[in-house]
Chains A and B, each alone.
Chain A
Amino acid sequence: MKLKLLYSLLFVAALFSCDEDEDALPNVEVPATYEFTRDGQSTVSYQGQIDRLDMVAEIKSYLSTGNLGEAIEASKLLNMFANENNAFISAELNASSKQLEDKTFISDVQWFKNLFVGAEEASNSGISASNGQAGLLERGTGFILVNEKGWEFTQFVEKGLMGAVFYNQIYNSYLSDAKTGDDVDNETMVDGKNYTTMEHHWDEAFGYWGVPVDFPNGTPVLSESEDRFWAKYTLGRDALLGVSTTLMNAYLTGRAAIVAQRYEVKNEQKEIIYEAHELVAAATAVHYLNQAMSDLSAADHGNLFHHLSEGYAFVKALQYSPVKKITQAEINEILNTDLGIDGNFWEVKLAGIQKAKATLVATYPSLEAIKDQL
């Protein structure tokens, strides 16, 4: 405890002591859009992130053919996951040096592989889904392919990878001190490139978010191809949360602060980004829990499982932040008890969904006023 206090004092002292130096540093010039140049050339690059977003899109598209009753092959999904054996339709993706598997939160890799195997088995089950039985389940005028617990494969994999790859990489890789800490090289150009290492890492975090450079001011805000993953759900919650501008300003300001070498400004933006990304996931989870309660009251099991699948994945996405507000124990309670014992949606009760929602709202107090509108 005493040590902590000492550290804090030292830290405060350090802050004060660089006040004078800061005045000597250039001002942070925040542009209106995510465009940064040096000597007239762009310094922004995140093609690897775009590739990975496109890979998840193809995986989702392939999995959703299972909802139409077509057979799913686990081997194909595993190849897509590791980007091996030209598994994608897109030649560009097959040629890309990037893959998803090695960027997936390490303890979740097997979880996804199990889902791939489960999807193949379910698609071959030939009977409709019931408690303990994987297969097709009626949803509206169509069907969804679910496992024996009622988990919809398409949602679990797509939304799951949004958390385990995209958020995980933003949180634990690119916003970490190792990648964008004050000691990371921000002086020399990366070999053959027009950007510094620190600049590039910040851009890669931005790339995983997946919004256009003029977000949220374009018309439309998101084009059809951009209306996916975290960009879509950030915008989806924006009317009630106002997170689009918060996040965009933080990414823009942080990047500009890196250019200006004003690291205290950059670090402030990181905190904003962590908090706002987490809030989007929590609010989206509440949104789907609300829908699930409505489905449950209408005995609409197809939509219930669909929305629970989304809600489950968005709650799971909360766990990747190293500075998350919710505890891992609370997350586990929601996933393993509130949404059905061991996450078995067939056993879900209204009280459980209500409890999960209450936990989220209590943890993220800004959701309280809008909890029923989400």
Chain B
Amino acid sequence: MKQVISVILLINLIAVIGCSDDETGGNTPGFDRKAMLEDLADNVIIPAYDTLNKEVITLDEAVNAFVATPDLSNLNAARNAFQVAYHAWQRSSFWEFGPAFDVLLMSSVNSFPADYISIDNNIVTGSYDFNTISGQDEKGFPAVGYLLYGISDTDQGIVDMFTVDGDASNRKDYLKAVALDIRTRVSEVATGWSAAGGDYKSVFINNDGTDVGSSVGLMVNELNKFVERETRDGKIGIPLGKRSQGIPIPAEVEAGYSDLSISLASENLKALYNFYMGIGVSGDKVSFYDYLTTINAQYNGGLLSDAIKLQFERAMKEVGEIPSPYKETVEVNPTPAEEAYTELQKLVVMLKADMPSALGVLITYQDNDGD
């Protein structure tokens, strides 16, 4: 494995050196990278963060309304806001660089599964710190999911935990604190990208080379890392037992209390596809698909751009066909999940080996199998 990675790195390195002329400039013959970055920022990335920002504000407000008046109606309203926001997160979770990296957005809002034992303990003691690393899986969407779905077997039972239970008051405070932490971090990221705020957009667009630290370099690395570790492993593979000698671990699923696992995974994969294609609020604009097509990158006698598109479509189809709830599927009917995992694995190889080498981008994140 290590040797394969080394070879890939070497190939990438050669590729990078081979086109060192345009490492820092914006010129690939026939392709305007800066224009692609502008499209991606305006059409895909910033709208995704803005939507997420809007939805987590709605979630925060719905949580506050529920906490102010804990009843079944407000519980349902909070759950709806949670579902909408959690899906919005799936569309904005794979650009963990710049403003998102600075607030550790991904690990702060979606470290799953929630550490419910620590959450319960935090509620009882009323003492917790969301800025430490041990707090990462005690907050975020997984914690909201646990508190809105997982603390009792019935909806009325959940409402009771916020009304008659001995720790109801602390629990209310905790849920509010979790929602606020999500809201605050997302807001910082949305502001960080906006022209009126941190204007990371300008940095992003002007950083138009392909070297390490360039916007293309960052996106390709993050896309890879995300599809490999989050989409393939976190959402599908780990619950399926891919890290545990085939023994499934239902407790590891994303959104296990709300049973949204597959809905979220599908939303995420579709968003990754749209990002690759450049599909956003203003329709289909320039993105990596067009980039690979323009430079005529080849794959098995055809275009690499089309091969990746096709592989995305296959993976989306298979993931969409996994029965819900996923925490049961992994134990009673794993075959559809196995098929989805296989297609995701093929996608990872294309994104990790073929695409970076065609683009002259160095994959700098590392497998953690070394010492």
* Smallest CB separation, B111 vs chain A (Å): 4
* Cα distance A139–B111 in the bound complex, in angstroms: 15
Q: Which stretch in B59-67, B98-106, B195-203, B299-307 binds the other chain?
A: B98-106
In this complex, how many residues of chain B approach chain A with their Cβ under 8 Å: the count is 26
Docked complex: A262-317 residues within 8 A CB-CB of B = 290-291, 294-301, 303-304
- B134 pairs with A131, CB closer than 8 A: yes
- B134 pairs with A239, CB closer than 8 A: no
- B212 pairs with A296, CB closer than 8 A: no
- A296 pairs with B132, CB closer than 8 A: no
**CB < 8 Å neighbour of B364 from A130, A295, A372:** A372
Residues of chain B within 8 A (CB-CB) of A300 are 368
In this complex, how many residues of chain A approach chain B with their Cβ under 8 Å: the count is 24
Residues of chain B within 8 A (CB-CB) of A304 are 133
Residues of chain B within 8 A (CB-CB) of A140 are 243, 368-369
- B134 pairs with A299, CB closer than 8 A: no
| A350-B134 CB under 8 A given contacts A298-B229, A299-B107, A300-B368 | no
| A348-B243 CB under 8 A given contacts A291-B366, A298-B229 | no
Pairs of residues from A and B, 6 with the lowest C-beta to C-beta distance, nearest first: A299-B107, A299-B111, A299-B136, A373-B212, A303-B368, A372-B213
13 contacts between A and B (CB under 8 A): A131-B132, A140-B369, A297-B101, A297-B106, A298-B225, A299-B106, A299-B133, A301-B133, A304-B133, A346-B133, A350-B101, A350-B102, A373-B212
* Cα distance A348–B133 in the bound complex, in angstroms: 7
Residues of chain B within 8 A (CB-CB) of A291 are 366, 368
* Cα distance A141–B229 in the bound complex, in angstroms: 14
- A373 pairs with B364, CB closer than 8 A: yes
Q: Does A54 contact B (CB under 8 A)?
A: no
Residues of chain A within 8 A (CB-CB) of B229 are 298
Q: Which residue of A lies closest to B102 (CB)?
A: A350
* Cα distance A299–B225 in the bound complex, in angstroms: 13
Docked complex: B130-147 residues within 8 A CB-CB of A = 131-134, 136-137
Q: Does B362 contact A (CB under 8 A)?
A: yes
Q: Does A330 contact B (CB under 8 A)?
A: no
Other 17 A-B pairs with CB < 8 A, given A140-B369, A300-B368, A372-B213: A131-B132, A140-B243, A140-B368, A141-B243, A290-B364, A291-B368, A296-B104, A297-B106, A297-B107, A298-B107, A299-B111, A299-B133, A303-B368, A346-B134, A347-B132, A348-B133, A373-B362
Q: Does A349 contact B (CB under 8 A)?
A: yes
Residues of chain B within 8 A (CB-CB) of A290 are 364
* Cα distance A85–B369 in the bound complex, in angstroms: 36
Q: Does B282 contact A (CB under 8 A)?
A: no
* Cα distance A346–B136 in the bound complex, in angstroms: 11
- B107 pairs with A349, CB closer than 8 A: no
Residues on B lying within 8 angstroms of A by beta carbon are 13, 96, 101-102, 104, 106-107, 111, 131-134, 136-137, 212-213, 225, 229, 243-244, 362, 364-366, 368-369
- A130 pairs with B134, CB closer than 8 A: yes
Docked complex: A344-366 residues within 8 A CB-CB of B = 346-350
Q: What DSSP secondary structure best describes chain A's contact surface?
A: helix
Residues of chain A within 8 A (CB-CB) of B213 are 372
Residues of chain B within 8 A (CB-CB) of A130 are 134
* Cα distance A300–B243 in the bound complex, in angstroms: 15
Q: Which residue of A lies closest to B101 (CB)?
A: A297
* Cα distance A297–B98 in the bound complex, in angstroms: 12
* Cα distance A290–B213 in the bound complex, in angstroms: 13
Residues of chain B within 8 A (CB-CB) of A296 are 104, 107, 133
* Smallest CB separation, A311 vs chain B (Å): 14
Residues of chain A within 8 A (CB-CB) of B244 are 141
Residues of chain A within 8 A (CB-CB) of B133 are 296, 299, 301, 304, 346, 348
- A299 pairs with B137, CB closer than 8 A: yes
* Cα distance A299–B111 in the bound complex, in angstroms: 7
- A294 pairs with B104, CB closer than 8 A: no
Residues of chain A within 8 A (CB-CB) of B134 are 130-131, 301, 346
Docked complex: A230-262 residues within 8 A CB-CB of B = 239
- A349 pairs with B131, CB closer than 8 A: yes
- A297 pairs with B96, CB closer than 8 A: yes
* Cα distance A304–B133 in the bound complex, in angstroms: 10
Residues of chain A within 8 A (CB-CB) of B364 are 290, 372-373
Most B CB contacts (10 A, CB to CB) among A239, A349, A372 go to: A372
Residues of chain A within 8 A (CB-CB) of B225 are 294, 298
Residues of chain A within 8 A (CB-CB) of B107 are 296-299
* Smallest CB separation, B136 vs chain A (Å): 5
Most A CB contacts (10 A, CB to CB) among B96, B133, B368 go to: B133
* Smallest CB separation, A266 vs chain B (Å): 35
Contact indicator per residue, chain A 131-158, by CB within 8 Å of chain B (1) or not (0):
1000000001100000000000000000
Residues of chain B within 8 A (CB-CB) of A299 are 106-107, 111, 133, 136-137
Residues of chain B within 8 A (CB-CB) of A347 are 132
| A297-B362 CB under 8 A given contacts A130-B134, A349-B131 | no
* Cα distance A239–B364 in the bound complex, in angstroms: 13
Residues of chain A within 8 A (CB-CB) of B137 are 299
Q: Which residue of B lies closest to A141 (CB)?
A: B243
Residues of chain A within 8 A (CB-CB) of B102 are 350
* Cα distance A349–B225 in the bound complex, in angstroms: 22
Residues of chain B within 8 A (CB-CB) of A350 are 101-102, 104
* Cα distance A239–B102 in the bound complex, in angstroms: 29
Q: Which residue of B lies closest to A130 (CB)?
A: B134
* Smallest CB separation, A346 vs chain B (Å): 6
* Smallest CB separation, B196 vs chain A (Å): 24
* Cα distance A42–B167 in the bound complex, in angstroms: 79
Residues of chain B within 8 A (CB-CB) of A372 are 212-213, 364
| A294-B365 CB under 8 A given contacts A141-B244, A239-B13 | yes
Residues of chain A within 8 A (CB-CB) of B243 are 140-141
